[in-house]
Amino acid sequence: MKKIMLICSAGMSTSLLVTKMEKAAAEQGIEVEIWAVGTAGFKNELEKPDVILLGPQVRFMKDEVSSLVKDKPVAVIDMKAYGKVDGAGVLKQALEL
């Protein structure tokens, strides 16, 4: 099971995206655990995920997060996919990492 963590400003703007990603995974028969956290609490979660995606609004944190999790892929969610709340597209991006 892949574990995907999304980081955004408060952890709330990605909630709908998490739901859409979970739906897309279920439709494709992919077992995943996906959750969102805010910038204030993300450091407490770094041991759990296999992949970390950052919301476009916190893209400036990519280097910091990458340095804290040297062995895990970290990427910024595609801005178009984020804006369209494209759960399938963001899930695909996460799985390709």
What are 51-84's pLDDT values in tens digits?
999 999 999 999 999 999 989 999 999 999 999 9
CA distance linking residue 62 with residue 81, whole number of Å: 18
Q: Which domains does the chain have, with CATH numbers?
A: 2-96 (3.40.50.2300)
Q: Looking at residue 70, what is its pLDDT? A: 87
Q: Considering 8, 24, 37, 77, which one is annotated as catalytic?
A: 8
Catalytic site residue 54?
Answer: no
pLDDT band at 4 (very low <50, low <70, confident <90, very high): very high
How many whole angstroms from its chain centre is CA 12?
A: 12
Contact status, residue 46 vs residue 76, Cβ threshold 8 Å:
no
Q: Is the pLDDT of residue 5 over 80?
A: yes
Strand, helix or coil at 14? coil
Contact status, residue 69 vs residue 39, Cβ threshold 8 Å:
no
Q: Is the pLDDT of residue 42 over 90?
A: yes
Q: At 59, phi and psi to the nearest 5?
A: -55, -30
CA distance linking residue 61 with residue 7, whole number of Å: 10
Q: Looking at residue 92, what is its pLDDT? A: 96
Q: Looking at residue 11, what is its pLDDT? A: 63
